Amino acid sequence: MLTFVSNRQIYDCLTKTIIPSVHDRLWIATADLKDMYVEMAGRKDMVPFLEVLDALLEKGIAIRLIHAKEPGPNFRRDFDRFPRLWQQMERVLCPRVHFKCIIADGKTAYFGSANLTGAGLGAKNENKRNFENGVFTDERSIVEPLCEQFDSVWRGACCVKCGRKDFCADGPIM
């Protein structure tokens, strides 16, 4: 399956397909990272996406997050409310990351223009959302190279030749 998604469809893809389907690992790459609120099964109010990630960690799902810059104070405040995130979620800051993807178990993925923000992937009102698009797929011929790109950045394959070491808060990952 290969499906073009845009705007609210991206949010639905994330919250109704990818997140509920993950069993072992969730990989997320984004350039921008902000405090994003989403609907959560069994809850009437919107919750921070970080709470959803915390619930996944509680179930034993491994989460890796690559992002290009430090998030703002609202994100930090919510992040600090969930100790499991800073104890168990693996995170790498790489200032050259501009690709955006969410990969569940190495089998299904979204990739496209949307950052991990309310205006990009979140539940913002249609009149306040960014105009985004992307692809949702479970086709191995697409998901495998996407996983390889993510893993290549994760393991620091480009760090030695990067030339941006002074801007990389995490330093080379070796």
- State the Cα–Cα distance between residues 93 and 2, nearest whole angstrom: 30
Rounded to two decimals, the pTM is: 0.93
Q: What is the pLDDT of residues 99-118, one digit of tens each?
A: 999 999 999 999 999 999 98
Which of 7 and 141 is assigned the larger pLDDT?
141
Express each pLDDT in 112-160 by its tens digit. Answer: 999 999 899 887 778 888 999 999 999 999 999 999 999 999 998 888 7
**Of 4-13, 67-76, 120-129, minimum mean pLDDT range:** 120-129
Band of pLDDT at residue 169, cut at 50, 70 and 90 = low
pLDDT over 70 at 170, yes or no: no
Strand ordering across the sheet containing 2-6: 2-6, 133-137, 108-112, 100-104, 25-30, 62-67, 90-93
- CA count, 13 A, side-chain hemisphere, 74: 9
Least confident of 1-10, 37-46, 135-144: 37-46
**List of E strands, the chain:** 2-6, 25-30, 37-38, 47-48, 62-67, 90-93, 100-104, 108-112, 133-137
Fold of 2-167: Endonuclease; Chain A (3.30.870)
Residue 167: the pLDDT is 67
Average pLDDT (89-97) is 93
Q: Is 86 exposed, middle or buried (0-12, 13-18, 19+ CB in 10 A)?
A: exposed
Average of per-residue pLDDT across 83-112:
96
Residue extents of the structural domains in the chain: 2-167
> What is the structure's pLDDT at 173?
43
Any alpha helices (H) in 13-139, and if so which ranges?
Answer: 19-21, 49-58, 73-80, 83-88
Quick check: 40 and 51 in contact, CB under 8 A?
Answer: yes
Q: How far apart are CA 149 and CA 143, in angstroms?
A: 10
Asked if 45 and 129 touch (Cβ cutoff 8 Å), the reply is no
- Quick check: 174 pLDDT over 60? no
Residue 43 tokens read as: 């809850």
